[in-house]
Structure formats: structure tokens, C-alpha cells
Structure 1
Amino acid sequence: MKNNILDQIFLCFLLPFFGVAQPPEPPVLPPFKEPSPPNFHKEYNGIQPFPEKEAEFPGGIKALMSYLNNNLVIPLSVLEDDLQGKVWVKFVIEKDGSISKVEILRGLSKDCDREVIGLIKTMPKWKPGYSSTYYNEHTTITENLRDTVPVRSSFTLPIAFKNSNYPILPQGYDTLKNYLTSNLIYPKRALKEKIEGKVYVKLLFAETGEVKDVVLLKGMENCPECDKEAIRLMKSVPKEIMTANDEKYSPKPFFFNTYIDFKPE
């Protein structure tokens, strides 16, 4: 009996140390909120290789070919060397239709490559490509978007330089170049300030092969006197030098784009 009393007393001392543990209260979690989808139109800037709707030049492919034919400038160095071939150029059409990242994939000459780059950079805005998926360039996974959005895309073009498209001059292009070099009157202000650059002109040939007009394509903003001199100079070329004598141009008129290079000595 005495031992039972002692045992009970001993248990009373132990219970406070070995009581039953209570489970901790669960943490309070914030209410679940579904994440909103990312705005790919603003956030995704990769180039889409296969947009569902391809980017398009205003007016379509025929309008693009017309733009290239009407605005391609032929350097005199190409005519002198009777150079022909293609320049392959690649560029990016941005989401707003503007042109960026122009690069030559396969060139023909420094002069040709330079003129092609300028031609592409000055194109009007395209209609951008559209897609409801986008290509993740880091994981090569295609993910779905909620809406069709404009995307960046690339385009590759061959620009042809064919001697069959150039007017054939009776005394050759060496004679024309020598005449232009010898008769160029450098504007005094441009010479004093050492202004240099190129004035781009379009030569309009009549059915007879004679030049009937010279039109300014692109002048020098810092030298309007140079623009006037370039037009005066081209109009002053004698008929025996500038008259095209190839039957393929008759009986329809044609044009030819080139430039006058202003470089102070």
C-alpha cells in the first residue's frame, strides 16, 4: 500500500515533463489567385521562324518587285566592270512593320552590297507577321498564346544586278565616268567645309535613247548645292556619250538609277 502511494506521487512529478504533445497550428495561407498570362506582345522579342501569317510588303509581292526595280541604284563601278550577279540580303520585320538587322548573306561587290543595304533600309513599313504561337528560342518549345499577335520575323531576298538591264552606251561607261569627273564643279561651300557624300539620281531615257530628264532620288541634306550640281552635270552629258544604242530599249522609254560621288581632294 505504501509502495502504491509512492508510485502515484512519482507519476505526479513526471506528468508535467512527459505530457501529450499538441500538434502545431497550420500556417495561414493567402487565398489562391490564378496568375495572369504573360503579355507576349510586349514581353516576347524573339524572331518567329514560322508565323501563321507571313509578313507582307504593302501591295504584295508584285509591289515589292516594282519597288526594288524602281529604286535599285547601279554604281558606275559595276557598269565599268560589267559586273553581274545577285546579292542575298536578310532582314527582320519588326512587330510594327519597320525594318531592322539588315545583313548581307552573300555579296557581289562592296558598292553593290552598300546599295542593297540602303535599298532595304529605306523600304516602307511592311505588314508584320501574326501568330497565335511563339517559338521559344532557348528551349525550342512552341507555346500557345491566348490571342493572335504581331511577331518579329525574318525575310531573305535576292537582288539581281544584270548587265542586260543596263543601257549600253556607245563609248562605254569609262568615257561617261571620265566626263563626270572632269566636269564636276564642286560647290565652294562644300569644298571649304570638306563636305562629302552621294547624290542619287534617276535618268529618264526617251524612246530614241536620249536622256530626256534627270530626277533627284536622294540628295545631301547638308549640301543642297551638291544636289543642284549633280542634276546640272548629268543633264550636260553630250548625246554622243549618253545615248543608249541597244535595240532592246526601243520603242519604249526606260530609266536608270545611279549617283554622283562628291569627294573633296
Structure 2
Amino acid sequence: MKMIKLISKTCYKLYVVLFCCILNTGVLNASNRLDVDTTVYVVADEGPKFKGDMTQWIGENVQYPQVAWDNGIMGKVIVAFIVEKDGKVSNVQVVRGVHESLDAEALRVFNKMPAWKPAKINGENVRYRFTCPLMFNIERAVAEPYSYDEFIAMLEREGKIPLENIQEETDPVIIQMYVAQKQQFLKGGESAFKLVLDRMSPSYNVRVPANFIREYKLDKEQQKKLKVVYKWKRLEQEKLIKRMGKKDLIKRFAELSPLFAHLNILEEVKIRECMNPEQHLLYFNDLMKEKMIAHEPDGNEPCSCKCFYRLNVSLHGIGGIQNRIMREVKYPMIAQEHNIQGKVVVGFLINTDGRVSDVHVVQSVDPSLDAESVRVIRQLPPFIPVICPIHKRKVAVYYTAPINFKLQ
């Protein structure tokens, strides 16, 4: 009988221990002190603390999913996790999601998070449940454009360098980049490129565009000065074209690209002299809207040369992007039925791998026309990446493309 009672008591103690474990309240020792507390707290004497700048760490480790970036998907993902007694992060889960790609990236980032300083109750480390929002936001035009003061400083500095002091490009990587870009758009090869060069000849009638006169309110004297500038540039271009010779035109153009680019800078110097300060500031602002560079260096050194005036990269031309866009665009039936017309301007980023992303409407006309414009730009094939000729690295280029919808 005593043996039966002893077994019963033993079983009872074992039952109590198991019950405590199941409830996650710990195991009691002989002095009734809790040895292992697996309780998860949401309130503590001292909350857990990230070691360092949490915002900076997340910014350095999060990667915007390409599918979300390409489709403009943004939002706030709410993540919950436990900071263990040793500070390690565990049990990461999405409490409120946005899109499967953003949710997966949030889980990936928080699962690789370094150890925190653990929460404390009565001086003892405890497990603590923490909730944190992670905002995914696509920033438009990530480039840092020139300020007007920087632009003027560049013109005054570069404008002092004569064109004859500029050396030809000798780097084979840069030359190949230019050749590839031209061949990508010139369906007719050398013969098509010759047509482009012919249009740079001074034999064409040089005049100041009417819309340029209207937009910047140029008087007769300013128009006369500007016409002289345009004619001067045509003559200088003709000298460079003759210097190219008649063979391997695209390659020779690539080799002379630093001279063509510097000629553009010298032209900007002269254009400034034809305008008053208010007109030139307006002109500068319009210039910045058309072309920006988002620097994505391959190395650790930032690409801060403000070099896009030297890139001399044009996506427009014979067989170029504009022709490709017009071939693909389909006038929405609903817009035709309601006689909706206009010019939609779409902005987009050409990344360092040549792919198009961050497609967005800069100037809207109608939802149907806007949607069609975005669709066409998103399906553009990859471009040849642009390379900074100064730092010898790829850079992302931000462009805007106008798409005209006009009923016949």
C-alpha cells in the first residue's frame, strides 16, 4: 500500500512538471524558484534595444523586389518577432502584408537581423515580442541634379577649356559602349548614321525654333545672337565630322565623343550669354527635367562627378526609342470614342543592367491614355548600359518620353 502511494506521489510530481512545461511557465526547483521562463512579454521594465541605428541597418540591407519596383507596388509591411533572452531575433512573421514580394523581403531582412540588447524584468533577461513597420516606397528620379549655382560654376570652369585641348577617347570599354548604343537604334548601320551626321551639317537652314522663342520670350536681338550660336556649333560639328573620315563612322564618333560632348558644354556657355538671368534660370529648370543621372557605382567610391553633360548619350534618333514607342502604342478605344487627345509624358529609369524600371506618368492626360503609355514603356527591351567616362563605371539614367495621342 505504501509502495502504491509512493508511486502515486511520484506520478503526481511528474504530472505537475509536465503541466508546467506545457504551459510554458517554467520548471520549479526545490526552493520554488523559476529556472526556465519561456514566457513572452509585451511589457517589461526595460524594453529591447537595437544595437546601433536600426533605420540605417534596414536601409543598408533591404532590397526592393524587382517585380514590385517594376509595377510600382508600395506600402507598409508590419512584422512581428521575438527578441530572445540572448538578444537574438526569432519567430519572425508578417502581421500585415502588402504584396507577396514585399512580405518575403521583410521576412528575409528581419531574419538576418543582428542580436539586440534583450528586455529585462527585475534585472533578468526575458523574451519580448516586438512589432515593427517596414515601409517600401519608390522614390522618383533618384538622381541628384545640378543646382543652378553648380551648373553656372561648371559652365564657367569648363567653358575656359578650348575644344582643341580635349583628347579623343582611348578606353576600349567606353568606345564599345558608344558603338553598341548607336547600333542598338540605327537599323541602317553606317548608312543610317551618315544621315544623322548630314543633319549636323551647316548646309541646313539654321534658325531658332519658334517654341523656344515663345517659351523664353526672346526679343529680336536675343534671337539674332542665338542664331549665331547655332551656326557656330554647326560649323564646329562639321570640322569634327570631317576629322572622323569616311570609314568606321560609328567607332570614330565614339572615339571623338569627348569632343562632341565638350562642344555641347561650350554651346551652353554661349546660350547663357544670349539670355537674361530670369530666362536662363527657366531654361535650366527645363533642361534638368529632361535628363538626370542616378549614380549606381560598381565600387565603394560614389560617382559624384555630375558627369551627364559628358555622357553625350541620346536615346532618340533614327530607329530610336521614339519610333519604337510609336510602333507599339495602341490608341485606347474608349479614348477614341470620347475624342480624348493629348501628350502623355512618361518618366522611367534605365538601370545599370540596361533594364527599364520605375515607369511613372509625369504629365497626365486621361487614365486610359496614361495606362497605355506606361504599358508601352514597361515592355521596352533592355538598353545598352551607360558608362561614366570619368569614373569608368555604369550609371543609371533617368529619362522622360513624350507620347502623343492624336486623332486623325
Larger radius of gyration: 1
Which structure exhibits the higher relative contact order, with contacts defined as CA atoms closer than 8 Å and separated by 6 or more residues?
1
Structure with bigger helix share is 2
TM-score, normalization: structure 2? 0.31
Structure with bigger strand share is 1
TM-score, normalization: structure 1? 0.46
